[in-house]
Structure 1
């Protein structure tokens, strides 16, 4: 498919029915691994520090389980080994290539180090936030740093803008809604005694509500332009929509709960708190039903407590069978419920 390491496998069941996709992301991170695991990275400077090797293994395990049952399956299964989740690009590439065209539903999961191994997070509604990128430019009038009264200082205006955008929550948007605006980079100035002409910033915006997300460019632009004007400067906001929120619908939620209960019982299920982290799994579910699980991989007794993107991150391998079974059972249950719908 011209996507280098990305792989899509298809298992055809013996009986007619829907096509269900199972997805696991496979990309690593530019981190030097500091574990002593037998299966640690063989490439210096690259590590599965977000546990995508867990997701890959769970997907491969589900493929093994379902392959053994193919003569009993009412439908087909697509196994999506996805690249570039960390860059918010892989899912978009796959959808553009037509991977989801004949898919009726999709399931995926992500490991969670704060959740004990053996537990599975099943959430109704918003699980992970929408992710967008912003660039803010502040333009002033440069001059001598010792004579600032003859300049329009974009750095001073920028400091006010950074503070001001934090008031969007509670002053422009209800504090009952979840919104994050974070500035991650600031660039401006060339010397200690020179007032610059221009400062640029970049940041991230996280939301759950679709209407709020739609309105964020206008809200940010008014805020930035107004504050900059107060300092005699001008401001400009460039806004890019990157990923929608991961939202689990009621019908798929009920199916997911049942899948986990069938294998591990009600006690294995927990209701997770939504996170303002993002996931490009949401691209797959923009036009198709889907469900996304949290998979517990933490184990305090073994010392597996480090967070994602940490060079000492370790996931308990006892989680692999749990993830494989949950993905496989989810696909089976969807097929049985919808076996007469297609193919």
Structure 2
């Protein structure tokens, strides 16, 4: 039977504040990593730093036949707030870290309560959806029987004192693209190949993509830049495209059609080249992991605290661990905490008293 664990509330608040004061962007979480290492040293928990990037992996109760993973993201966002550029934890990652540190603190003091080896991943660069793959490529983690994660949720999705046993993130892709053409005088445009015209054609093709599904999906151009002078046909432009789909299969179909559109425009003096292709897979539901998470939620918040998963248009690279086969099973807790007005909004607030849901279990994984 699932049994809630007792944690030090004051230490959670201290960690939350200290990590908030150290907010750093992807792969630059140096002070954050140092603080996490300091806290693990205080707890006597062994850990490994990644050799060529920020973040670390802590290990408790090593050598057991079952390996349980617990992951938290550690990066923040650079944003303009109150008239100046700042780095802020407007996605709540400092709350995630504080909660996970509380879980580590408990099991460091009560190792007999652990049903296996616990690997705690303090992962960099979630906001750029590149950190999880870097962790996997490091080779430090190894296979996991089950992996748990967590994320605070907007009040519009999950109410306070409630939680969902799986955060049903969608699949997202970002294309970073260069389009090249042929320059010419603006008075003789027929002598050139205007990348703006080509981009306009491609953007319209993106809008015409249709998939045979009732599930939501989208292809959205989010950045475009071309030209330096008002009287010259530009021969180079760059743009970014955001793709979103409910499932990984739908994302594959969406990408196929996006590539077809790119190939159709790449003719003559116009060439479109892909500079980057960043993927964040959709959640891969696992009944056993979801059931265990649901039991934990009910044990702490009661039957009314467990709510059905709420569709979201957000993504998270947490799902790479299952997508790449490193985690046999996984699920992510969606935690309601009175969060308003929304994630990634500078100045967003939530009630930290609602984030005390821990993932302790004395009955297995």
Partner of 1:305: 340
Q: TM-score, normalised by structure 2?
A: 0.75
Indicate which of 276, 290, 294 corresponds to 2:313.
276
Gaps spanning 5+ residues in structure 1: where? 35-43, 299-303, 336-343
Task: Single out whichever of 203-212 and 179-188 deviates more from structure 2.
Answer: 203-212
Deviations 1:265-315 (CA, angstroms, capped at 9, x unpaired) = 2211122333232211112223111111111122xxxxx522222221122
Gaps spanning 5+ residues in structure 2: where? 1-48
Q: How does 1:161-240 map to 2 (within 5 A)?
A: 161-168=202-209, 170=210, 173-227=211-265, 234-238=270-274, 240=277
- Runs of 4+ in structure 1 deviating by more than 6 angstroms, as ranges, are none
Partner of 2:349: 314
Measured at CA, do residues 130 and 52 of structure 1 come closer, stay the same or move farther in structure 2, by a change above 3 Å?
Answer: same
1:12 equivalenced with 2:12 (yes/no) = no
Partner of 1:340: none
Higher RCO structure (Cα 8 Å, ≥6 apart): 1
1:122 equivalenced with 2:165 (yes/no) = yes
- Cα RMSD between the aligned structures? 2.7
User: What is the CA distance between 1:75 and its match in structure 2?
Assistant: 1.6
Q: Distance in 2 between matches of 1:263 and 1:177?
A: 33
SS of residue matched to 2:260: helix
8 Å contact 2:162–2:307 — kept in the other structure? yes
Q: Distance in 1 between matches of 2:250 and 2:273?
A: 17
User: What is the CA distance between 1:192 and its match in structure 2?
Assistant: 0.9
8 Å contact 2:57–2:141 — kept in the other structure? no
Aligned residues: 308
8 Å contact 2:165–2:290 — kept in the other structure? yes
8 Å contact 2:181–2:271 — kept in the other structure? no
Measured at CA, do residues 224 and 73 of structure 1 come closer, stay the same or move farther in structure 2, by a change above 3 Å?
Answer: closer
Q: Distance in 2 between matches of 1:166 and 1:290?
A: 34
Deviations 1:17-68 (CA, angstroms, capped at 9, x unpaired) = 512111111222223666xxxxxxxxx8322111101100110121233334
Q: Distance in 1 between matches of 2:332 and 2:318?
A: 8
Q: TM-score, normalised by structure 1?
A: 0.80
Q: Distance in 2 between matches of 1:100 and 1:54?
A: 23
